[in-house]
Amino acid sequence: MTNSAERNREAAAEQPPGKRQRLIAAANQLLYQQGVERTTLADIAHAAGVPAGNVYYYFKTKDDIIAAVIETHVQQSKAALASIGSTHRSPKSRLKALVGELARQGEVIALYGCPNGSLVSELDKRPGPPDFAVADLMRVPIEWAEEQFRALGRRDAHDLAISLLASYEGSALLTNTFRDPGILARETRRLNRWIDTL
């Protein structure tokens, strides 16, 4: 006789593929566009085309799906950085590619802000200790940029990486505040010039 954990695994194996991924994708979009507090599990189920009752099979609470969205962001960031690393030969070109990757959605950022920055800021305002690995959303690109600055022989690599991401996040905030993608475009050009001077 199988135990309950084995039955759950067997049931999971029988589920049509893709529902969990659709729920995460829908949650990602809704959390970004309308915020954590305004988004309900019913909203997510509807956007994913999944019956509301089925959500609880994959995610017991809204916090569970938020954690999955954060993990998805982190994995996507790591994949994008690995791709940059494999297609650009020099540290400077990699850093410029990172800036380009961060800034490539200026029109969307003008409407909703930086996807990672907005999520970090909103979740940080929740009462109680942080339950999510939100710092990883910033830590991953900072550590990667630090490696590139270090490859340039910079002893202040960590500080430079912080400055790079802080500059992007600040310009993304202003881009969203003033609904002006030109702010982010101008800051991207300035960052590229700055990288050239290092």
Q: Tell me which of 51-55, 126-130, 178-182 is least confident.
A: 126-130
Is residue 5 pLDDT above 80, yes or no? Answer: no
Give the per-residue pLDDT at 132.
Answer: 86
Average pLDDT, the chain: 91
Is residue 1 pLDDT above 60, yes or no? Answer: no
CA distances from 35 to 3, 29, 49, 153 (A): 39, 9, 20, 41
Nearest alpha-carbon partner for 23 in 37, 8, 39, 9: 39
Give the per-residue pLDDT at 105.
Answer: 93
Is residue 103 pLDDT above 70, yes or no? Answer: yes
Mean pLDDT within 128-134: 77
Q: Where are the alpha helices (H) located in 59-134, listed in sequence order?
A: 62-87, 91-103, 106-112, 115-124
Q: Which residues contact 53 (CB under 8 A, 6 or more apart)?
A: none
7's tokens: 């039955």
* Radius of gyration over every alpha carbon of the chain, rounded to an integer in angstroms: 19
The boundaries of every CATH 1.10.10.60 domain in the chain are 1-60
The matching CATH number, chosen from 1.10.10.60, 1.10.3720.10, 1.20.140.10, 3.40.50.261, for 1-60 is: 1.10.10.60
Say how far apart CA 192 and CA 188 lie, in whole Å: 6
The boundaries of every CATH 1.10.357.10 domain in the chain are 62-197
Mean pLDDT within 48-68: 94
pLDDT digits (tens, 9 = 90+) for 14-27: 555 499 999 999 99
Is residue 13 pLDDT above 80, yes or no? Answer: no
Report which secondary-structure segment, H or E, holds 189: helix 181-197
Give the per-residue pLDDT at 120.
Answer: 93
When pLDDT is cut at 50, 70 and 90, the band that residue 128 belongs to is confident
CA distances from 135 to 8, 52, 73, 86, 107 (A): 32, 30, 12, 25, 25
Give the per-residue pLDDT at 3.
Answer: 53
Mean pLDDT within 42-55: 95
Give the per-residue pLDDT at 17.
Answer: 47
More confident residue, 102 or 79: 79
| Cβ pair 154, 160 in contact under 8 A | yes
Is residue 7 pLDDT above 60, yes or no? Answer: no
Q: Which residues contact 33 (CB under 8 A, 6 or more apart)?
A: 112
pLDDT digits (tens, 9 = 90+) for 137-186: 999 999 999 999 999 999 999 999 999 999 999 999 999 999 999 999 99
Say how far apart CA 33 and CA 112 lie, in whole Å: 6
| Amino acid at residue number 124 | D
Say how far apart CA 32 and CA 176 lie, in whole Å: 13
Which fold is adopted by the domain 62-197?
Answer: Tetracycline Repressor; domain 2 (1.10.357)
